[in-house]
Amino acid sequence: AQKVTQAQTEISVVEKEDVTLDCVYETRDTTYYLFWYKQPPSGELVFLIRRNSFDEQNEISGRYSWNFQKSTSSFNFTITASQVVDSAVYFCALSGGYNFNKFYFGSGTKLNVKP
Amino acid sequence: GAVVSQHPSRVICKSGTSVKIECRSLDFQATTMFWYRQFPKKSLMLMATSNEGSKATYEQGVEKDKFLINHASLTLSTLTVTSAHPEDSSFYICSARPRGRITGNTIYFGEGSWLTVV
């Protein structure tokens, strides 16, 4: 079965602090994809990153970085020097198995960045 | 990049009426589209897979007679909430995969539709 767990329901930080959002996944598939999406109050899903199961290389994009560790089934997301505009709900998602188009979302982490 | 558009973005309807939400792929053809539902402050749950020219595949626990899905063309899927009730109030979002692509890295989400049933 596919499952994504985001244990942090809500996180509050002060602007310029670094923050890490945790994501732990479960799957029996050897080939799968992991995603992070940002959902602002307006509701749309903003794609942040996709990782396939064969690529454990960490990635950095500006203030964003991702740490993929298959050994612990984790795909954590770090925002460096957070800004108020980073305030949103962040979802980790998994797709794989016979249907790569079917997404399993975590419960989301609401990030509040205070000025 | 590929764009998926939903309409309406917000809709309020009276209890007992039906409401239709459209999901369009604007610059690509999509043989398969997906409908998700998000309860307030909750995660997104897949409701059904919409297949062009055939019946939709519903996830367990989703009432197919209440949530009618029609994928009439390669660029349009519609979700009709029939005999809506206040508990159907939710955020509905669709996703689409461009025709011919098989990997999980080419899924595009619509902007979502807020449904409020009063």
| Chain A residues lying within 8 Å of B36, measured CB to CB | 103, 105
For residue A104, which residues of chain B lie inside 8 Å, CB to CB? 46
Beta bridge partners of B57: B49
Token readout for A29 is: 């598939």
Interface test with A, best of B107, B115, B116 (most A CBs within 10 A): B107
pLDDT in tens, B28-74: 898 889 999 998 778 899 999 988 888 899 999 999 999 999 998 99
pLDDT tens digits, one per residue of A30-69: 889 999 999 998 888 998 998 989 888 888 889 999 999 9
pLDDT over 70 percentage in chain B: 92
SS3 at position A83: coil
A interface mutation test: which of B105, B108, B115 has the most A CBs within 10 A? B105
